[in-house]
Structure 1
Amino acid sequence: MSDRTMTRQVLLFISVLSLSSVHGQVSYSIPEEMAKGSLVGNIAQDLGLDIKRLKSGKARIYTGDSAEYIELNKERGVLLIKDRIDREALCGQTTPCAVHLQITLEDPIEFYSVTVEIHDINDNAPSFKKNEMKFRISESAMVGAKFVLERAMDLDVGVNGLQSYLLKPTDNFLLKLQNQPDGSKKVEMVLQKPLDREKQEHLFLTLTAIDGGDPPLSGTMQIEITVLDANDNAPVFTQEMYKATITENAAKGTVLSTVSASDADDGSNGRVSYSITNTLDDVPEIFEINEDSGIVVLSGHIDYEKARHYEIHVQASDDGGLSDSSKIIIDVIDVNDNSPIIIIMSKSSSIAEDSVSNTVIAMISVNDPDSDSNGQVHCGINENIPFTIKSTSNGFYSLVTDSDLDRERASEYNISVTCSDEGVPSLSSSVTLTLQISDVNDNAPVFERSSYEAYIIENNTPGLSIFTVKARDADWNQNARVSYILDDSSVNGVPVSSYVSVSAESGVIHAVRSFDYEQIKDFQFWVKAQDGGSPPLSSNVTVKIMIQDQNDNAPQVLYPVQTSSSLVAEMVPRSADVGYLVTKVVAVDVDSGQNAWLSYKLQKATDRALFEVGLQNGEIRTIRQVTDKDTVKQRLTVVVEDNGQPSRSATVNVNVAVADSFPEVLSEFTDFTHDKDYNDNLTFYLVLALAVVSFLFITCLVVIISVKIYRWRQSRVLYHSNLPVIPYYPPRYADTLGTGTLQHVYNYEVCRTTDSKKSDCKFVRPCSQNVLIMDPSSTGTMQRMQSEQNILDEPDSPLEVCYI
């Protein structure tokens, strides 16, 4: 509407209002697309006006921009269609759509409003902006993947507008609509079935948009889907096995066979290359294959007498890494003739080892295209297997068992069926059937040894792995799964489980405790091996554990006995010759073996040139003639070492008196009692101990006297009170001479010397014929002790000497 027209309408409206003229309003409803000249309404009748008034009043109609659609016929007093009304062009998607008119009259001025509502008709079909959409979707796309489609447009409104969509075909995709906030719908295509480029590389779908008119109108859009390739197909040989024959005199380059594999993929994913994969034989040196064409040719020399058959393993691979395998059976013949053809009609891949005889495992059909005797075929199988082949009818054979099977003896049989004709030379063919023998639990576990012996060093850490028992079961799978169980037994009255444990899975035997060779040197027990069959089978084995000694004990010197009060000295006369036996150091080691092998060494001596110690026997002998210049007092320090690693040792001091008479020895050894080697601290400790014992004795004596006095007073009180008195003695105590409550009578022997520091008590048993007992408390008399039996003869005799 122009500014001028708008101005005129506004002025006219103001002038009408100012005149306060009477006016009215009328409304009409018409459909769009009415023909030109069609009646809208009788305005004169509806407003109550006379046709003459319309003429005299110079009736005019103001429609603004709508003037081109409606006109007033004053002759008839009606409103007519002036031009075709297109609701979509007039109002678009706005509803309701109406045309507003104003009718004015003059003399007097009158003003009337007329509203013409334009109703929509289904004159527009839904349409798409594009006629075609294209998608490129990989065949590896996941189910549920969504693809947004273009929405259709419909200029109509209401029920005549766009109502629904339809997608065809729906083999791989479904249509999904989602309402949007603006009232529109989002159109999506959802993958419901995986795509397969190899089956269909291009898909053509039709998306149809339908409105709600009667009849409904629709618009379509074509959807083209190109399925992109994914390497989801491996090459596939046209045959699982190829066969070829060649004469032994064939030249190099002779074509044997052509293998072929196809890959349904596209591009590099479908490009196939061929290779020979034999590794354990000489096939790669005799045959070669063209990696592009798959042609297998002879590249080496073949000899019928050396090999009648070759099996070539061929692999076809695409550029995506997927592959397939096949094999080529090459039969070498002497002449260009036909070999019998063997066809496996049916076969069993496995059979239980407890199957009865005459169980059929395969049916074979054999024929030879040759004629006469060359076509007469006889079939047989390889020897030394529990099977036989029987002819059931002309050209048909059955392969059956003819003896008991044992999977443990043979778990798999390659049964080679060879069929030969009667030609000269005879031609034959063969086929190999692989038969698996399934297991039955008919074998108990068997230990690798009938008994076990293991060694462990003493002082081990608890939990140490000693060794492993191993049992094998000839069965298979669960029937051969062996578990190890420690048999319930005891060692020296103690359960064996407190000594060792065994791992149920591995059979490893662990030490539960630390062993001491000196307490237990060996023990044995039983281990049971049980399989996992049903019912389970088991076997036992004896295990003996030997404790090995460790050098954990130092040597102990038995003789000479080391004391610190009285002095023991071995006397050597000055007339002693070379090799004179002075004494013998006797020591023992509670260890065993080389840990108890003792050696004796002279560590230090007053005169090292005078004495030596036997390395093995500990004998102390003179190594030279004794002279007058040798001092009387000789002190030797002998080290006793065992042979352990590391070795342990003990030290013993030996006093030797070099003299011909006892007075000489006595005068010299008197000073020994004041030797600085004695420890003065020992005297202090003895005095302190004596003082403590004396204090305790006096305290006990005072307590006992006090108790006696108290009881005496109580008895006196009871006596004067004329009450009966019952004496009471504590249990286990008796009054000895009325002086105390000691349980036992103790006898004490006190030995005193002129030197109070060296007082001691001693209990001596004679040890050697040449031992001198030097007692400082004596008046100078030296006594030679004669033993009833030499200690060297009885090393186990007790030797008790107490010195300070």
Structure 2
Amino acid sequence: LFLIHILRQVLLFVSILSLSSVFGQVSYSIPEEMAKGSLVGNIAQDLGLDVKRLRLGNARVYSGDSREYIELNSERGVLLIKERIDREALCGETTPCAVHFQIVLENPMEFYSVTVEITDINDNAPSFEKSDMKFRISESAVVGAKFVLERAVDLDVGTNSLQSYVLKPSDNFLLKLHNQADGTKNVEMVLQKPLDREKNEFISLALTALDGGEPQMSGTMQILITVLDANDNAPVFTQPIYKGTVAENAAKGTIVTTVSASDADHGLNGKITYAITNTFDDVRQMFEVNEENGEVRLVGRLDYEKKRSFQINVRAMDNGGLTDSCKVIVDVVDINDNEPTIKIMSKSTVISESANPNTVVTMINIQDPDSGENGKVQCFINENIPFVLKSTSNNFYSLLTDSDLDRERASEYNISVTCSDEGVPSLSSSVTLTLQISDVNDNAPVFERSAYEAYIVENNTPGLSIFTVRARDADWNQNARVSYILEDSSVNGVPVSSYVSVSADSGVIHAVRSFDYEQIKDFHFRVKAQDGGSPPLSSNVSVKIMIQDQNDNPPQVLYPVQTGGSLVAEMVPRSADVGYLVTKVVAVDVDSGQNAWLSYKLQKATDRALFEVGLQNGEIRTIRQVTDKDAVKQRLTVIVEDNGQPSRSATVIVNVAVADSFPEVLSEFTDFPHDKEYNDNLTFYLVLALAVVSFLFITCLVVIISVKIYRWRQSRVLYHSSLPVIPYYPPRYSDTLGTGTLPHVYNYEVCRTTDSRRSDCKFGGAGSQNVLIMDPSSTGTMQRMQSEKSILDEPDSPLEVSLLSSFPNHPRKPNGVASNRCRDYRY
């Protein structure tokens, strides 16, 4: 019977293969976890069959050696759930997940293919392998230190799978996720705030994994951190990615590769242990790492057809709890006798980034010594690169550019060409072509910042380096060589080049002059960065220089005013109570900020127990009740200091009179102790001034009296003289007597007295009233016309005038006869 059953199965299979003319296919989609007996679909209706045909044709489900999850109800012509389907157990992470089987009918023999897709429901919550994870982290761990966390696993797929992580509280740490090639995410905890063991020695965090299903499900793992003291160096792997290969038939214990990390610390803090951090996958069943030397060994059986490569996450941890991580990529090598041979027929190792799409890069020839299906080869290149591999003829491929190239995004490409045959198991080989992308000047320099601000302390040395501007050019070689230029502008009407300069090569900004904060506090200018391409490209940036104040000015006291030897005193009545405001010292400082913050202190005082000075406001107040025993004269020395480093100061002397009346103050302050030298000088100058004033007064008095007496005597002599008066005619006046005997030439003499203060002589005008005229009826007499005063009596004319008429026979007085005080004017 067993042989008959086997024979019937073989005949059925042969019949199915030969009846392709009646072949039909139908597909269904159902969610997982449906109850047993649930309806999948009406197969009779969907295939266009009568239910009677199913019953008479002995319709049944054929699934080969696979497990039967679906059964056929021939009476109703429907497909039902035979056994609860768990998508995760059936397909794992494979999507889409489907069950394939055939509906077989007899008399006549018919064959129909049925595909039932099993869709995922959110029936699995994210979970961690461990309920908690412990770390020992040194307080000297630098910000940015990374700590690898165990990943959560969600057996669901799609949006129902693991979507995100949340770390709470997040005071010291934040999460960082790294997408892996297999679609998973590595979770790292990154230190964002330095730890302080003295404040918090133990830290407890909660790492929550969330999926995207409805309702949302989650899983939580506690992270317990012990903060250690004085370990400031974390292990560092020699490279971030290690690669190794192992044959699929390699024996257990085979060394795949060796990872190595170093720690700059010494002793126990520098001792490193290695561990594999992969969870919920088969890495730990296949590989182990030696804790001491980092050797990665094979501990399981490899199957190339199941998994061709492994990604091992290795963590290096020192005794202080600091860690580093690396990836070990293990490629499983298929064992076979012949694999495809790839030959590069023609190649160009350099291509311009301006190359057009569909530019041929290289030609590839593929040869496989095998025959039949094992000799048929399909080739492909790695993804996410702007190249495409096209078959041109039998066993020949062309590598073409698929899109525009950008050297700044990728300066070279390692193009891996992999060819696989169609044998079972399939054999493959690959070759990597390194293609360099040549540059064109298509990027302008870009400054590191959108704007710069810098500070410089005033009174700097000319030529001082202030700071550096930097620009990066994504191009290469000459196209990326950046030069810096100071753009023309002015600051307060002065070219900015007289303030600063910029180094063309390094971008260092130098001060050209010494700055004074009190004159200029800040200024702006622009710097241009230009590359060396042809034509050159450029960009500019705004720079603001702010001058910082320096304590280079002492305080200046505005009140009370110090006036040399003058004595200024503030009066305080004896009835003044505690806190009585005597006066206020007012001072300013032209500096700014703390350099201008002033404080007042009482340096010296006649009675320190009587007065105090406000530290901030400079107010001088009494600190006790004034008594009759207190001296009238009080001398206070106040020092005013600023808050600069070093501080500068000024002093002021305040005189205070403790009295109720001004006479009391005056009597006491007449002998107020001044400087002896000042008193002696004052007395000397007072006596000298008094003597000079007295001498000048007496001298002036004598001179005035003498002049009055002299004028009086002269007028008397002239009035009583018996000499005949010679007729006088003023210049340019006609003869009033009509005799016509006055000659046309005449002269006169002018004499000035020794005490004259005038520098010129005054003469009568055409209408002068002071004129002497000869009376024709009375010779030898003189009359005074229209004037009561003589010319000699005028106070502003201390001149003695003698007028001589000149006749033809009258002897003329020589010019030299006159005294040195007289001059002869002749017309």
TM (norm. structure 2) is 0.45
User: Whose radius of gyration is greater, 1 or 2?
Assistant: 1
